[in-house]
Amino acid sequence: MSASTDLHHRIATLRRDLHAHPELAFEERRTADVVAAHLERLGIEVHRGLAGTGVVARIRVGTGKRSIGLRADMDALPLDELNGFPHRSRHEGRMHACGHDGHTAMLLGAAEVLAQRAKAGAFDGTVHLIFQPAEEHEGGGRVMVEEGLFERFPMDMVFGLHNWPGLPAGRFVVTDGPVMAGADRFDITIKGRGGHAAMPHQATDTVLAGAALVQALQSLVSRNVDPQEAAVVSVTRFHAGFADNVLPENAALGGTVRSFRPELQDLLEAGMRRICHGIELAHGVEIALQYHRGYPPTINDASVGALCRDVVRRLGNELVAAKPSMGAEDFAFLSSVVPGCYVWLGNGPGEGGCMLHSPHYDFNDAIIPTGIAYWVALAERILAI
């Protein structure tokens, strides 16, 4: 099954319009209007307002008892685009640098095909089309769940798809178990006694304590995590002082923690608190750690993943193996409630720096028919009569 040439052209045009008008997390008002209007023209039931700008559409056929969710994200990144093509971002500081414009467009194309197939009675059940705001760092998926997504729209399974630069166009990765990491962040403040840099014995050196802390935190993964598991603790910020001859009273650090299991998130947080306490005692300073739980790991259900692989094979697309990514995805908030599977669709080589979150990135319109076909075939496979 593949999208017609006319559908491909129209959806690609819509995608480029979305690319030219990017909107940041929870501000996707124009995007939501475009999505809702497109769905309403197809005669599909549309609901708005979850997580503010979220849109959920429902296609019900036959008994409507079995139910699935297909999810696309809508938000852009706070980034200045450096492309020169006609559909480049028209707004400074905003860019679709992760392909959410393509995800939204492909699901709208699938909606068009599924609406036609529904009239023909091609499946029996309910397809929910979830257009989610604020995937980038803000957790729009969590907000949709908290505001009653699954209570208002019960689903047996939920599915996500992300384009993947560096993977040949049209190929799929369907991983069992962890596919994207959990992402936490931390802020650490160190308070000591400031003084003259030439007389360090009269002060309590917060820079030295911070340096010791940065080094000690590296032992968390190397000496506390099973070497066959993956985890990352990265200090990405260290701010202290303002003059060459002053030992600062305060220092501040921050960074990110990535892992593939909730148990590891617990272990790493506990380890950070233990290390902070030890450095505090060793250096005679006061250390405060704020540990912020972010996105949980995205973990694919094995039986649901098997269905996805079967659909890819039936479509004649190639399945390839790939390691899970240390990037994070708030699809995890959906798939932690009902069984789910999150797949990668190859976007092409990603040459010239055109990887995700690059100011040179653009979604590959050539894969639009593949994404549409996958969504349609997946719905019909699971809701087969």
Measured between alpha carbons, how far is residue 113 from residues 120, 232, 275 in Å?
11, 42, 56
Whether the per-residue pLDDT at 172 is higher than 90: the answer is yes
Closest CA to 334 of 95, 123, 24, 54: 54
Whether the per-residue pLDDT at 173 is higher than 90: the answer is yes
User: What are the tens digits of pLDDT across the range 102-118?
Assistant: 999 999 999 999 999 99
pLDDT, average across residues 373-378: 98
- What stretches of 134-230 adopt beta strand conformation (E)? 157-165, 172-173, 177-191, 195-196
pLDDT, average across residues 250-278: 96
Look over the chain and give the mean of its residue pLDDT values, rounded to a whole number: 96
Residue 334 host element (H or E)? helix 332-335
Whether the per-residue pLDDT at 353 is higher than 70: the answer is no
pLDDT, average across residues 49-64: 95
CA distance 212 to 350: 39
Whether the per-residue pLDDT at 54 is higher than 90: the answer is yes
pLDDT, position 138: 86
The token pair at 247 is 């030992």
CA distance 126 to 153: 10
Q: Which amino acid is at 276?
A: C
The token pair at 289 is 């750690």
User: What are the tens digits of pLDDT across the range 205-236?
Assistant: 999 999 999 999 999 999 999 999 999 999 99
Are 215 and 275 a contacting pair, CB within 8 Å?
A: no
Q: Please report the domains of the chain, with CATH numbers, ordered by start residue.
A: 5-166+349-382 (3.40.630.10), 181-295 (3.30.70.360)
User: What are the tens digits of pLDDT across the range 284-297?
Assistant: 999 999 999 999 99
